[in-house]
């Protein structure tokens, strides 16, 4: 399967290359970035970062699972999949008032964006009634809102927009040629179709992927190429480090070299200079030293809070202490 970027309007289930005019970051050019000497790569990323952002400011975003477990998808990394025995039980959607209380607590801790995630393949129309109420209530607190609910139809994206949603998250996960090794219940084009609906509704896009799932460096470059060649590229780019959860097919996956993770952050910054590049899952496993290098490489957003959906995250106080030691402040 081709490693070239995919258009939104390709025929369903068919991988097609972008028009040459949009092929800004071919995979081969992204590979060249990965192959730069480490110091040169970070210097280039830091220079670009400072051209577009305050280098000592980080966005603090909090992610809450509003509907946990029982997902029918078979994503090989996911402990919420109904295909695997990971100890995660299916739960009903949280009441609106509990979600609002969690958002208020996140705001009190310094978060400015609140993301609500549900373990669905795609939401039913009736599910969106409660989600719309959540979005409106969290917006009323003065926070940016984000949701990740699975695949969306056009009219569903419009409903979320009308409720006041700011961002919709829908990750590409990995390069197209590696995708089938990780997921079989959803096609790559399905993901692109949802992103198209989100863009056409006027919502901002939050879209990234996961590294450390056994992909090659070229396939990591393929993921970044896909993201960077979206037109426009995402406003937020979450880069997740695989958390190998017992019971999932990737439970025994060998850990990625942490410096390769830093390289991925730097390459994302260079190819998507105006995006918020977010350190997402796996921060606790990386440790403070690697996180610090990621900030130097251009990361300027983190998921902030003790849990990400169902996996662990650094304690809020630990994050505050590290950011204070680095002289980095939260985005106001």
Specify whether 115 is catalytic: yes
The encoded tokens of residue 296 equal 């130097």
DSSP assignment of 77-108: T-TTBTTS-SSPPP-PPPPHHHHHHHHHHHHH
**Secondary structure class of 173 (helix, strand, coil):** strand
Angle between helices 188-200 and 154-163 (to 10 degrees): 40
CB contact at 8 A, 267 and 30: yes
d(CA 209, CA 171): 6
CB contact at 8 A, 121 and 72: yes
Specify whether 294 is catalytic: no
- The catalytic residue among 115, 186, 199, 283 is 115
- The catalytic residue among 206, 263, 276, 294 is 206
- The catalytic residue among 44, 78, 220, 276 is 78
d(CA 117, CA 95): 14
CB contact at 8 A, 93 and 121: no
Rg of the chain's alpha carbons, rounded to an integer? 18
- The catalytic residue among 71, 113, 159, 263 is 71
**Secondary structure class of 220 (helix, strand, coil):** helix
Q: Parallel, antiparallel, or unpaired for β 311-312 and 329-330?
A: unpaired
- The catalytic residue among 159, 186, 278, 283 is 278
Specify whether 320 is catalytic: no
| Longest Cα separation, the chain | 52
DSSP assignment of 132-165: HHHHHHHHHTT-EEEEE-S---HHHHHHHHHHT-
- The catalytic residue among 44, 75, 207, 276 is 75
Specify whether 207 is catalytic: no
d(CA 182, CA 191): 14
| Residue matched to tokens 């990386």 | 286
Residues with a catalytic annotation lie at: 71, 75, 78, 115, 146, 206, 278
């Amino acid at each position: 399967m081709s490693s070239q970027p995919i258009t939104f309007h390709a025929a369903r289930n068919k991988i097609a290359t972008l028009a040459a005019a949009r092929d800004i970051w071919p995979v081969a050019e992204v590979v060249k970035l990965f192959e730069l000497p480490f110091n040169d790569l970070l210097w280039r990323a830091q220079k670009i970062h400072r051209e577009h952002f305050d280098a000592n400011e980080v966005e603090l975003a909090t992610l809450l699972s509003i509907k946990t477990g029982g997902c029918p998808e078979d994503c090989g990394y996911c402990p919420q999949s109904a295909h695997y025995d990971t100890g995660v039980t299916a739960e009903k959607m949280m009441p609106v008032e509990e979600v609002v209380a969690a958002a208020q607590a996140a705001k009190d801790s310094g978060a400015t964006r609140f993301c609500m995630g549900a373990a669905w393949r795609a939401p039913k129309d009736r599910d969106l009634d409660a989600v719309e109420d959540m979005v409106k209530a969290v917006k009323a607190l003065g926070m940016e809102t984000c949701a990740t609910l699975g695949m969306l139809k056009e009219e569903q994206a419009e409903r979320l927009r009308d409720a006041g949603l700011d961002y919709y998250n829908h990750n590409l996960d990995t390069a197209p040629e590696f995708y089938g090794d990780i997921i079989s219940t959803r096609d790559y084009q399905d993901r692109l179709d949802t992103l198209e609906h989100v863009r056409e509704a006027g919502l901002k896009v939050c879209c990234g992927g996961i590294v450390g799932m056994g992909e090659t460096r070229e396939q990591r470059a393929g993921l970044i190429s896909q993201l960077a060649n979206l037109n426009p590229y995402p406003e937020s780019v979450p880069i997740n480090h695989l958390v190998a959860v017992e019971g999932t097919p990737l439970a025994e996956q060998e850990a990625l070299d942490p410096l390769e993770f830093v390289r991925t952050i730097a390459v994302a910054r260079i190819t998507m200079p105006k995006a918020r590049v977010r350190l997402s899952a796996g921060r606790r496993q990386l440790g403070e030293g690697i996180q610090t290098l990621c900030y130097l490489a251009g990361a300027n957003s983190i998921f902030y809070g003790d849990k990400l959906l169902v996996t662990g995250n650094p304690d809020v106080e630990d994050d505050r202490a590290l950011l204070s030691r680095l002289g980095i402040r939260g985005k106001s």
